[in-house]
Amino acid sequence: ANRCPFDLGLPRQLYTAAARYSGIIHAWRVISSLNALNHFGFSFEQILEMTRAANMAVKQGSNRAVKIIEISNPWGEYYATTPNTIPPL
Q: According to the model, what pLDDT value does residue 5 have?
A: 44
> Can you give the pTM of this predicted structure?
0.77
pLDDT in tens, 3-35: 444 444 678 888 999 999 999 999 999 999 888
Range of the domain at 24: 10-80
User: Which amino acid is located at 2 in the chain?
Assistant: N
Other beta carbons within 10 angstroms of residue 25's beta carbon come to: 14
DSSP 33-79: STTT--TT---HHHHHHHHHHHHHHHHHH-TT-EEEEEPSSTT-GGG
What is the tally of structural domains in the chain?
Answer: 1
pLDDT in tens, 34-57: 888 888 888 888 888 889 999 999
Residue 1 lies in a domain: no
Residue 5 lies in a domain: no
